[in-house]
């Protein structure tokens, strides 16, 4: 290919960049302008993500701020940068924001037909980050799932169960459903374990055995002390209840309940007391 043909080909390629693809208000969207728009938007998203990662790392680690607050601040900063960055990019490429009203109307129509959940989860995520009913590190129970909150993002919250399984829960479930936050009050919580024994069992002996079983486990707090309650008396059986206190941030409720049941069964067997 001669130099003349090469320059002619390059000229045709450059001319193609000036072809008007569509109009958006008064702006003529050419291929070159569209490529510039996509490049700048990609740069905005990358920069917002980089700022979020920096805040989670070196940016906020020097301050005495808990993990949940760091995540909330970092996520809020990312969203603000995204909004401001997108607006600046649109103005930079000459798009009149008033002309986007048509696009906004189309988006609103899409929301009405299929994006309600997406928008609802996004708004719920903002509510969670600002009101902070839950935060990263809390042990929660929601939608029949118990685990530790690992991450709160724009549309979903990641909860890691005791089996080390990550459950992705839509944010609106934390706003609309009943949520048990075992760490909300930042203190110990109580676990109750039911024990059924035949009628006529020595209540004093049973109480001693259940308390001894509770004291076997290091997860059970000494203060407040474990309690044994006799819930029902008479009939073919007696219903006792062992109530213990533990730190939910350190111990999973189901694991502690299982350990208590095993310890109680072992103590009763050693004492010759058979469960009902």
The SS3 of residue 159 is strand
**Which CATH number is correct for 189-270, 3.30.70.100, 3.40.109.10, 1.10.240.10, 3.20.20.70?**
3.30.70.100
- Residue 233: both structure tokens together: 């008396």
31 vs 225, which has greater pLDDT?
Answer: 225
Each domain of the chain, given as residue ranges in start order, spans 17-130, 139-181, 189-270
Q: Are 60 and 70 in contact (CB under 8 A)?
A: yes
How confident is the model over 226-244, as pLDDT tens digits?
999 998 877 778 899 999 9
Q: What is the CATH number of domain 17-130?
A: 1.10.287
pTM of the model: 0.56
d(CA 106, CA 14): 33
Q: Considering only CA atoms, which of 181, 183, 267 is closest in space to residue 217?
A: 267
Q: CATH second-level architecture of 139-181?
A: Roll (2.30)
Residue 12 pLDDT class (50, 70, 90 cuts): low
How confident is the model over 49-97, as pLDDT tens digits?
888 888 887 777 777 766 666 777 787 788 888 888 888 888 777 776 6
């Amino acid at each position: 290919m001669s130099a003349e043909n090469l320059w002619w080909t390059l000229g045709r390629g450059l001319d193609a960049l000036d072809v008007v693809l569509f109009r958006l208000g008064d702006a003529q969207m050419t291929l070159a302008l569209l490529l510039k728009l996509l490049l700048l938007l990609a740069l905005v998203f990358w920069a917002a993500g980089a700022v979020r990662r920096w805040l989670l790392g070196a940016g906020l680690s020097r301050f005495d701020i808990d993990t949940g607050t760091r995540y909330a601040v970092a996520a809020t900063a990312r969203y603000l940068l995204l909004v401001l960055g997108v607006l600046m990019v649109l103005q930079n490429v000459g798009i009149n924001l008033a002309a986007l009203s048509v696009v906004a109307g189309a988006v609103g129509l899409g929301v009405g037909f299929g994006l309600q959940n997406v928008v609802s989860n996004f708004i719920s995520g903002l509510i969670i980050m600002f009101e902070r009913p839950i935060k990263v590190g809390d042990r929660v129970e929601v939608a029949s799932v118990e685990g530790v909150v690992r991450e709160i993002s724009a549309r979903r919250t990641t909860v890691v169960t005791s089996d080390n399984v990550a459950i992705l829960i839509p944010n609106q479930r934390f706003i609309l459903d009943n949520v048990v936050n075992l760490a909300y009050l930042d203190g110990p919580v109580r676990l109750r374990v039911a024990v059924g024994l035949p009628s006529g069992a020595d209540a004093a002996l049973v109480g001693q055995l259940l308390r001894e079983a509770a004291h076997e486990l290091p997860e059970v707090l000494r203060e407040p002390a474990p309690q044994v309650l006799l819930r029902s008396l008479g009939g073919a059986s007696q219903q006792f209840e062992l109530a213990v206190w533990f730190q939910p941030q350190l111990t999973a409720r189901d694991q502690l309940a299982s350990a208590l049941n095993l310890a109680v069964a072992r103590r009763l067997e050693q004492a010759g007391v058979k469960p009902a």
